Structure 1
Amino acid sequence: MAGDSSFDQDKNKLAEYETSSSGSYKSSRGCFNSKTGELMGRNFFSWIKLLSFFFIFCGVMSTLFGLCMGIFFQTLDYYIPKLKIEDSMIGSNPGLGYRPAGGLGFKTINGDYKGLSIYSSLIWFRHGGDGNFDRLRENLDKFLEEYEPGFFANQGASLTKCDFESKPKLTDESCEFNKEWLSDQGADIKCISAEHYGYYYGKPCILIKLNRIYDWFPDPYDINEVRNHSTMPLSLKNDIEKIYEEKCDDDPNKYCPYLNMVWLHCDGEDDPDKENLGLVSYTPFRGFPGYFFPYRNQRGYLSPVVMVQLKNPTPAVLMNLECTAWARNIRHNRLKREGLVHFELLMD
């Protein structure tokens, strides 16, 4: 039979190798047989066939993969995400961010602090002439670079001046945000780089931003909802009431554009933290104006930011601070950090 013949041939071949007087196969078993010219049990033409198969196989698979990726990328837009708001993993509940971030950074072998740490939410500094707040100032300067005029190419073509009474923007337009607005002209110590953002004087400034969510609109409270809100901080209610009395009509049922805001409130998490925090000011707004939204990846888009300045925090006391955003469609969850941001402050 054919099977027996093949077996006999292999058996004879093995016996021939073992009885070979030259011993060349034994000395390089599994590699090269000088008698038959085989390399690892295969002759030249066998290797050509095997390598040709693998090259053709890899070529076909690479071509199929490239075609699949090409078709897949044709379904994506470089500027508009396929999944938005509720359908995306980000969801529809924005969080807050803050600067300066990075905590103390990483300590080198020489004892110097270098870089930023994503695991630290502590703002720890020493104020005064021998202060160590340079890294905090640099972090704020770096973040605010994009707010400098002309940072983005052709930025002026898409930016427009907006206010609470302006008309809705076009899809490719975004509102101007001037870096100079972050400087409170009535404050003795201003939140600017020239004055070390208040860290030199023991009046630190913390920049708060609302995280971007594509095509998200805030749903602001009306004055009746603010007055009847059960969990909104009393100081925030009072500030909104003042804005309403100054800017809006007396009719509470009439729409007031100056309430088109995502309100911001920063305070200590617990009663001891609130006592040690002292007075807090917000510049330029008491939150984030609604006319900056939605974010649609516009060219040169600038997120609205708020400078929160602590006027007289208690030195040498570790404080747990929390800033919350307030609108109808913003929920607060400390565990998931939704609608808020937490950080610690220690001033020596």
Structure 2
Amino acid sequence: MPAQSKDDGGWKKFMWNSETREVLGRTGGSWAKILLFYVIFYGFLAGIFIGTIQALLLTLSNYKPTWQDRIAPPGLTHTPRSDKSELSFSVNDVETYLKYTKSMREFLEAYNEETQRDQMKFEDCGDQPQEYKHRGDLESDIGARKACRFQRTFLGPCSGIEDKEFGFSEGKPCLIVKLNRIVNFKPKPPLTNESIPEEAQHKIQRNVIPIYCHNKREEDEGKLGEVKYYGIGGGFPLQYYPYYGKLLHPQYLQPLVAVQFVNLTMNYELRIECKVFGENIHYSDKDRYQGRFDIKMTINNY
């Protein structure tokens, strides 16, 4: 058996020196001082980090996003949604529009009468346009706020109550349109007619954000036919605003507008644009859903 080398003995002595009672060349007291230094040092850094986070949290609201001013309000969306914003179907084939009507029924389930019966959560706000419904400040101690009821009957023949096919089976399809939710946002109706096309100026009325749909392309002039609007005032009434957020307004239902195209040209691809008008509603070429949307619609009767 080979003799143990001096190096092996020196290494073992470095690891544990029984004479000086040192570990790795240091006494227990020395190691204790090093450990205490690092505990204090990293504890100090952790304290600074935690204090910074706490100071930041004190500047944040529990109810309103801090950087909401960077949002360009509001988005205008519709149901049913479709790939590439195209709706194409045949009035003679239920399978071609079944997915559209199914998504509309599912969307409107939240607006069923039985879901809005709780008197502690909902209140009647009238069936005519009114002023904003102010329910206190976001940071007040009022707690959860009541929401205005929105009855599906406001949507007329597009409610899905009597006509389960929302007009698709007759070639008179409906779209359910909404303004996206933004905490504490109050849409302002247009003050003058200057920003509204002449053909849409009849839509202006008090306490309503008007919506208007028209043919997107000039060559489609006359092919859109009559468009009907159903809802409170045929637009978005102000009494449903502002929205107080998920914590304070968990049962909130935004107002809806049903747009029905009752005389579209058949067997023709028609591009339609719908826009809302207001003093604080803007549009962007980069976001086709900011304050407006456009959709391609083709109705076949073969």
Say yes or no: TM over 0.5.
yes
Q: Distance in 1 between matches of 2:117 and 2:66?
A: 26
**Residues 241-320 of structure 1 aligned to structure 2 (within 5 Å):** 259-284=206-231, 285-297=233-245, 298-299=248-249, 300-320=251-271
Distance 1:232 1:303, change over 3 A: same
What percentage of residue pairs aligned between the two structures are identical? 24
**Contact 1:94–1:330, Cα closer than 8 Å, also in 2:** yes
- Paired with 1:145 and 1:129, the residues of 2 have a C-alpha distance of 25
Deviation string for 1:50-88 (max 9, x for gaps)? xx99x979998777656654553443333223344xxx2
Question: What SS class does the counterpart of residue 56 from structure 2 fall into?
Answer: helix
Over 3 Å counting, the alpha-carbon distance change for 1:195 and 1:206 in structure 2 is same
User: How far apart are 1:126 and its partner, in Å?
Assistant: 2.7
Q: 1:317 to 1:61 in 2, by over 3 A?
A: farther
Greater shift in the superposed pair: 132-141 or 291-300: 291-300
Unaligned runs of 5+ in 2: 13-22, 26-30, 137-144
- Specify whether residues 126 and 191 from structure 1 end up closer, same or farther in structure 2 by C-alpha distance, changes over 3 A only: farther
CA distance 1:157–1:324, shift in 2 (3 Å): same
The separation in 2 between residues aligned to 1:145 and 1:201, in whole angstroms, is 23
Q: Secondary structure at the match of 2:110?
A: helix
Q: Cα distance 1:215–1:45, how it changes in 2: closer, same or farther (>3 A)? A: same
| 2:113 is the alignment partner of 1:145 | no
Residue 198 (str. 1) matches residue 145 (str. 2): no
Quick one: distance in 1 between partners of 2:282 and 2:92?
39
Whole-Å Cα distance in 2 between the matches of residues 195 and 148 of structure 1? 14
Any gaps of 5 or more consecutive residues in structure 1?
A: 1-19, 22-32, 38-43, 105-119, 185-189, 241-257
Distance 1:61 1:125, change over 3 A: farther
Cα 1:274–1:173 shift into 2, 3 Å: farther
Per the alignment, residue 79 of structure 1 pairs with: 63
CA pair 58-132 structure 1, distance change in 2 beyond 3 A: farther
| Per-residue Cα deviation, 1:136-164 (whole angstroms, up to 9, x for no partner) | 12221222222224547957435342444
Are residues 178 and 72 of structure 1, via their aligned partners in 2, closer, same or farther at CA, if it must alter by over 3 Å? same
Residue 5 of structure 1: aligned partner: none
Q: State the AA in 2 paired with 1:75.
A: T
Q: Secondary structure at the match of 1:124?
A: strand
The RMSD of aligned alpha carbons is: 3.9
Q: How many angstroms apart in 1 are the aligned matches of 2:202 and 2:153?
A: 27
- The whole-number CA distance in structure 1 between the counterparts of 2:257 and 2:225 is 18
Task: Return the TM-score normalized by structure 2.
Answer: 0.71
Secondary structure of the residue aligned to 1:131 is helix
Deviation at 1:263, TM superposition (A): 0.7
Alignment of 1:164-175 (within 5 A): 164=129, 168-171=133-136, 172-175=145-148
- The TM-score normalised by the length of structure 1 is 0.62
What is the rounded CA distance, in whole Å, between the counterparts of 2:103 and 2:70 in structure 1?
29
Secondary structure (helix, strand or coil) at the match of 1:141 reads helix
Task: Decide which moves more: 160-169 or 129-138.
Answer: 160-169
In structure 2, do the counterparts of structure 1 residues 316 and 150 end up closer, same or farther at CA, with 3 Å as the change threshold? same
8 Å Cα contact 1:273-1:321 kept in structure 2: no
CA distance in 2, matches of 1:158, 1:66: 41
Report how far residue 277 of structure 1 moved. 1.8
Quick one: distance in 2 between partners of 1:135 and 1:63? 56
Moved over 6 A (4+): 55-64
**How far off its partner does 1:265 sit?**
0.0
**Cα offset for 1:294?**
1.9
What is the number of residues matched between the two proteins?
A: 268
Counterpart secondary structure, 1:76:
coil
